Structure 1
Amino acid sequence: MRRLVLLRHGQTEWNHTRRAQGHADVPLDDVGLAQAKEVAPVLAALHPVAIWSSDLARAAQTAGAVAAECGLEPVLDPRLREFDVGPNRTGLTPEEYAVAHPEEHAALLAGEIDAIPGRETRDDVLARFLPALTTYADGLGEGETGIVVAHGAALRVAVPAFLGWGADPGESFGVLANCGWVVLEHSASTWTGGMEQWRLIAWNRVVPTPDFTPPTAVG
């Protein structure tokens, strides 16, 4: 059995205020730093052999906390970045974006992503994210676990594509919490005649805390 754990970064101030981040290099806030420290020993208990991370600060800081607990050095990979939301969307709340750029906002609601300057499509993100994820998965040996630290929206499209699901599940997946994680395992299954394949084991596992609040959907 091989295992991939896909972790969303901790909270940033822009997450808290519902501002779109995209490729903006926003660091973790105090809550996010605490979340990263809380999740680190939980994931370290899985004895990962490698940690790969988006190079954006919020992911790299989260990966650094986990890696320190594991005695590893994270490998930063820009292919693991969040969707680029375009220059006009970056840093704005949904309400601010609707007022400042009503035509783009209407196109976003209609799913007409190609009409939004600078915004990546699902296919754009998969073209860079999937090769990275496949390389990491293929490099794991039997019994080994690897951790990937990335971003909520990118992970929500990359996971089903990596598993070979035929259609985009879209909103069928819930929003990953900050420092929520996904577990994928590669092993044989009696349902497939003993054939080995990657399967989704868990989505949005979190470290329980008394003040846990529902996640926000902004990257």
Structure 2
Amino acid sequence: MTRLIIWRHGNTDWNADNRVQGQTDTPLNALGVEQADAAAALLAELKPDAIVASDLQRATRTAEALAALTGLPVCTDARLRERFYGQWQGLTMAEVAARFPTEHARWRNGDADPGCQVEALDDLAKRIGTAFQTAADANPGGTTVVATHGGGAKQGCGHLLGWGPPILRALGSLQNCHWTELRHDQVRGWQLRAHNVGPAAREPIPAAI
């Protein structure tokens, strides 16, 4: 049985401000570091065999908290970066709604390709889902922890599970430093075993941006 633990990074100041991060390389804040340490203590009990992370620092710093407890190296993969949000990156969602009302409305309604140079969901799902599969293939029969981003995590999991946007819209967003567990066997393929697991949250659930 191959197991993937898809782990969202800790809190950042941009999360706290509901500001669109996308592929902007923002650091963890003090709360995010605390969350990463708390989550790492729980994940270490799962005895992971490998750690892979997005190369954006909020994900790599999160992964390093687990590496410090397990002695495992952190391997980075740029394909695990968050969705590219184009013209929205750096803006609060209120600013996005004010400046790009048509595209924002399309995004809110689930349009997979809303415009403003925002990465299409199909492209995101294939990019991150392929990276997840690569991580799993490198450690068959083992447990791999993948530190990544909220929106990308959901779409990448959907790619492996064969779930399209209508199903994924019904799946709650990962909280900071929480994770989804997927398992794979040769008979049933990929299965969702757990979602939004992690230490107790200390802040409202932010948008997965």
TM-score, scaled relative to structure 1: 0.88
Pair 1:123 & 2:106 matched: no
* Alignment CA distance shift 1:74-1:95 (3 Å): same
List aligned pairs for 1:72-87, cutoff 5 A: 72-86=72-86
Q: Which residue of 2 aligns with 1:191?
A: none
List aligned pairs for 1:51-200, cutoff 5 A: 51-86=51-86, 88-112=87-111, 114=113, 116-142=115-141, 144-165=142-163, 168-187=166-185, 195-200=187-192
Work out the number of aligned pairs and report it. 209
CA distance in 2, matches of 1:202, 1:107: 30
Q: Which residue of 2 aligns with 1:202?
A: 194
Q: Which residue of 1 aligns with 2:48?
A: 48
The structure with more radius of gyration: 1
CA contact (8 A) 1:18 1:218 kept: no
Deviation at 1:115, TM superposition (A): 5.1
Q: Which residue of 2 aligns with 1:19?
A: 19
CA distance in 1, matches of 2:124, 2:83: 6
* Alignment CA distance shift 1:146-1:95 (3 Å): same
Query: Alpha-carbon deviations, 1:95-148, whole Å to 9, x = none?
Result: 111223334323433545545232101111123212211111122233x21000
Deviation at 1:94, TM superposition (A): 1.5
* Alignment CA distance shift 1:109-1:2 (3 Å): closer
TM-score, scaled relative to structure 2: 0.92
Deviation at 1:34, TM superposition (A): 0.4
Question: Matched residue of 1:33: which SS?
Answer: helix
Deviation at 1:166, TM superposition (A): 5.6
Query: Alpha-carbon deviations, 1:145-195, whole Å to 9, x = none?
Result: 10001111111111122012366413211111100111112247xxxxxx2
Q: Which residue of 2 aligns with 1:192?
A: none
* Alignment CA distance shift 1:25-1:167 (3 Å): closer
* Alignment CA distance shift 1:174-1:135 (3 Å): same
CA contact (8 A) 1:160 1:168 kept: no
CA distance in 2, matches of 1:167, 1:217: 17
Q: Which residue of 1 aligns with 2:207?
A: 217
CA distance in 2, matches of 1:159, 1:113: 16
User: After alignment, is 112-121 or 34-43 more displaced?
Assistant: 112-121
* Alignment CA distance shift 1:170-1:11 (3 Å): same
Question: Matched residue of 2:145: which SS?
Answer: strand
Ranges in structure 2 where 5+ consecutive residues have no aligned partner: none
List aligned pairs for 1:27-42, cutoff 5 A: 27-42=27-42
The one-letter code matched in structure 1 to 2:125 is L
CA distance in 2, matches of 1:208, 1:126: 28
Deviation at 1:82, TM superposition (A): 0.7
Question: Matched residue of 1:131: which SS?
Answer: helix
The one-letter code matched in structure 1 to 2:94 is E
Question: Matched residue of 1:18: which SS?
Answer: coil
CA contact (8 A) 1:6 1:182 kept: yes
Q: Which residue of 2 aligns with 1:4?
A: 4
CA distance in 1, matches of 2:56, 2:160: 22
